[in-house]
Amino acid sequence: MLLSTARTAEGLTQAAAAHRAGTSQPTLSAYERGTKAPTLPVLERILHALGYELDLTPRVTFHAHPIGDHGRTFHVPNRLWRLSATDCFVPLTVRTNPGRKAFDLSNRADRTAAYIWLLERGSPEQILGHLDGALLVDGWPDMEQNLNPEIRHKWTPVIDSTIDAWLVAQLRNQEDRPLQKPVSRHARQRAIRRLAEHGLEADEIRAALRRSGKM
C-alpha cells in the first residue's frame, strides 16, 4: 500500500517506477500486492527513488466525549502535532446555522476563534487538518476563558503535557524537540511551576533556560 500510494502520487506506471528504482515490474507488483515483502533497505531505496522518505510519524488517536443532552460529542487527541508552514494557515470554512463561516488562520484573532470552534465542534479530520500544536499552545491563554469548561478541562492535560515535554527538551538541549516556538510566556511559566511540583526548583529551571538563550 505504501509503495502503491507513492507511485500513484507521482503519476508513474509500475514499469516506470520499477525502472527508476532499479527493480523489475513483477517484483514491484508483488510488493504492492503484498505477496512479497521487501526488506527495509529495499523499501527505503524504492521510496527514495520515487521522491519519498520512510519516516516515523507520531500516531494521534482521538477520544470522543459526550457533552450536553443532545448527543453531541467533542474530540480530544492523545498528543499534539505540527503542521507544515503552509498547512498552518489554510483557511477553515465551517457550516453554521444558517450558512457557512470562513476563518482566516493567518490572523491571530480569527485563528483563536477557529481553534475554539475546532475544539468544541470539529471532527478528528478537521482538527488534524487545521490545528497546529505550537500555535494552539501559544494561543491557549487567549482561548481558555472562552472555552466550554468541560472541554477546557479535557484539553488542558494535553496542553500541559506538551509544554512539559517542550521544557524538558530545552533543558536537555535536545535538537529534535516535540514543539518549537512560539510558546507564550504565560504557558512557559505555568509549565515551570508544574515541573517544580515534580521536584525541580523553579529558579534552577529559569536559570537553565536563560543560559541556553531560550527564555
Which secondary-structure segment (H or E) carries 63? strand 62-67
What grid cell was written down for 3?
A: 509503495
* pLDDT of 207 over the 90 cut: no
Q: Which amino acid is at 24?
A: S
144 forms beta bridges with: none
What predicted TM-score, i.e. pTM, was given to this entire model?
0.64
Least confident of 88-102, 122-136, 154-168, 199-213: 199-213
* pLDDT of 174 over the 50 cut: no
Q: In Å, how far are 4, 43, 45, 137 from 38, measured between CA atoms?
A: 13, 6, 10, 41
Q: Integer distance in angstroms from the first to the last C-alpha of the chain?
A: 45
Mean pLDDT, the chain, as a whole number? 84
Supply the pLDDT for residue 119: 97
Supply the pLDDT for residue 165: 77
CA dist., res. 33 & res. 63, Å (int): 33
Give the pLDDT confidence of 105-126 residue by residue, as tens digits.
Answer: 999 999 999 999 999 999 999 9
CA dist., res. 87 & res. 92, Å (int): 11
